[in-house]
Structure 1
Amino acid sequence: MQLGISTYTYGWAVGTPENRPSTYLTELDLLTKAEQVGVSLVQVGDNLPLHQLPAQSLRTFSQEAQAKNISLEIGARGLTEDHLHLYIRIARQLNARLLRFVVDAKDYEPNVDTIISIIKVLLPQLENTQLTLGLENHDRLKAKEFAYIIEQVGSPFVGICLDSVNSMGAGEGLEQVVEILAPYTVNVHIKDFGIKRLPHLMGFQIDGRPAGKGMLNVPWLLEKLIPYQRCHTAILEQWVVPEDTLEKSIGKEDAWATESIQYLKPYFT
């Protein structure tokens, strides 16, 4: 299994709609980050939408990745037929072997049958190009629903991008989710986390931690995935608790990324 970083390793540096740095992290900057932390895999998520880049920028990105011997994976949000078709084309351009998709988008939440139908329409393109589609477990759908989707599609080129925290938004714990989705997992997002009771005692707060400093049992997670031999890449993602300025938050996530990758590397040698 190969270890890598993504645009969600550096979410504050890439920027959010509410907090966009004046100089944000680009796809080329991500390649430099990979060199700095010593990995040769990057995943570009939907927070840096590749379909909005000029054609020349995509060509330059592909050329720079090849020159640096860095493998690419790409991602998108909003699983419509047109959007999936567009990103299959972009994956071809970038020689990416994995396309990670978050099903939902703003004002778009397709039902399970619709998701299956969309994937089946584009399945010949995925299989002909040997491109693997990984559906990310996100907040709305339950693990069993994701498993049902994969079973109904029935292709080795469609699986799960397993995020270690997202399903808590659907009321499901990690052990439950891994038990159901491990057989279908083609990519894993290693995102460490902490849970603490709020000072008024009425509720909990879930937020991020550097890898190895939170509640995620990384060795256990990898041991659960390895027997199925479908998961070939692991991506460090981070929910970095923000500081009082965006500049400080960006510096913090950079330090967390370096620390986390150093912690994780021994599990991937």
Structure 2
Amino acid sequence: MSVGLSTYAYFWRMSASSPRQMALDDALRDAASLGVDVFQICDHAPLDDADDERLNEWGGLAAALGLEIEVGTRGTDPVHLARYLHIARAVGARLVRSMWTSGDDQPDNAETERRLASALPAYRGAGVTLALETYEQVPTTRLLDVVRRLDDPHLGICLDPANTVAALEHPDDVVARTAPYVRNWHVKDFDFIRSPGWVGFHYTGVPIGTGKLRYDAIHEALSPDQLGINEIVEFWLPWQGDPETTARTEADWAATTIDYLRSKHSA
């Protein structure tokens, strides 16, 4: 098990809203400076069209910085999954995180199973794991049904217990159901915060250790140290009013979250 950062931990700093927009190279160097072992390049559009030379450059930079790379995309179309297997091999990644749907492409169980069955032999041959994320658009029971039916050691779950709350699935239930199949864990804290005037709530990210994330219970359920499940830090950081404050807060959250996880692992 290793602790890592995702591009979602750099969401604002890598966005066009930042006057000093970070490129992927910058994010890799920053992650290495924080002493993490893994960087997950997740839903990062430049990966889709990058040529092999650029992919090899990113992979080489990560290796030089001592970072293990994982990549992430969306969808189960076999052609797209083949492309991401190629990307994974070019940057040296052993895990590809994806999602059941991608935009208007929302296949049913049978079609998803057919697609994955078509894609998995190449992943298996390359020694790369495909991890499908838990999220609100697909009930966890459906996701698990397909994973169980295919019963392939190179197919598993990317656990994000925060996502499924929007579908009225309790995080504890999702963790319990998926634990035997989890290959990757997205770690972020989250909470319900009253809207102004106390009319409704915002379901949003909060600093680690201050919200509803039951980190210790999830860690116990998954046994990531024994099973080699990487913990990948993400954020749902709300806009903080201006680019500078938002970027500074995002950087602070990254540092404090890594410190939090280290304190848990050393306890």
- TM-score of the pair, normalised by structure 2: 0.93
For the residues of structure 1 that align with 2:162 and 2:39, how far apart are their CA atoms? 20
What amino acid is the match of 1:246?
A: P
Distance 1:97 1:227, change over 3 A: closer
For the residues of structure 1 that align with 2:56 and 2:233, how far apart are their CA atoms? 25
Alignment of 1:72-221 (within 5 A): 72-221=69-218
Q: Determine helix, strand or coil for the equivalent of 2:179.
A: helix
Q: Counterpart of 2:7?
A: 7
Q: Determine helix, strand or coil for the equivalent of 2:8.
A: coil
**Share of identical aligned residues, percent?**
31
Name structure 1 gaps, 5 residues minimum: none
For the residues of structure 2 that align with 1:147 and 1:244, how far apart are their CA atoms? 40
Q: How many residue pairs align between the two structures?
A: 266
Distance 1:24 1:108, change over 3 A: farther
- Corresponding position: 1:255 with 2:263: no
For the residues of structure 1 that align with 2:50 and 2:186, how far apart are their CA atoms? 25
Cα distance, 1:64 vs. partner? Answer: 1.0
Distance 1:241 1:64, change over 3 A: same
What amino acid is the match of 2:38?
A: L
Kept after mapping to 2: 8 A contact 1:3/1:268: no
- Corresponding position: 1:38 with 2:35: yes
Distance 1:248 1:228, change over 3 A: closer
Q: Counterpart of 2:60?
A: 63
- TM-score of the pair, normalised by structure 1: 0.93
What amino acid is the match of 1:9?
A: A
For the residues of structure 1 that align with 2:63 and 2:125, how far apart are their CA atoms? 23
Q: Deviations over 1:25-50 (max 9, x none)?
A: 22211221212211121000013441
Kept after mapping to 1: 8 A contact 2:187/2:233: yes
Distance 1:112 1:202, change over 3 A: farther
Kept after mapping to 2: 8 A contact 1:183/1:228: no
Query: Bigger shift: 220-229 or 168-177?
Result: 220-229
Distance 1:103 1:20, change over 3 A: farther
Of 227, 232, 235, which aligns to 1:238? 235
Q: Determine helix, strand or coil for the equivalent of 2:176.
A: helix
What amino acid is the match of 2:158?
A: C
Cα distance, 1:231 vs. partner? Answer: 5.1
Kept after mapping to 2: 8 A contact 1:7/1:48: no
Distance 1:264 1:91, change over 3 A: same
For the residues of structure 1 that align with 2:167 and 2:226, how far apart are their CA atoms? 27
For the residues of structure 1 that align with 2:208 and 2:252, how far apart are their CA atoms? 12
For the residues of structure 1 that align with 2:67 and 2:143, how far apart are their CA atoms? 30
For the residues of structure 2 that align with 1:4 and 1:227, how far apart are their CA atoms? 13
Root-mean-square deviation (CA, aligned residues, Å) is: 1.8
Query: Bigger shift: 195-204 or 143-152?
Result: 195-204
Name structure 2 gaps, 5 residues minimum: none
Kept after mapping to 2: 8 A contact 1:185/1:231: no
Distance 1:50 1:193, change over 3 A: same
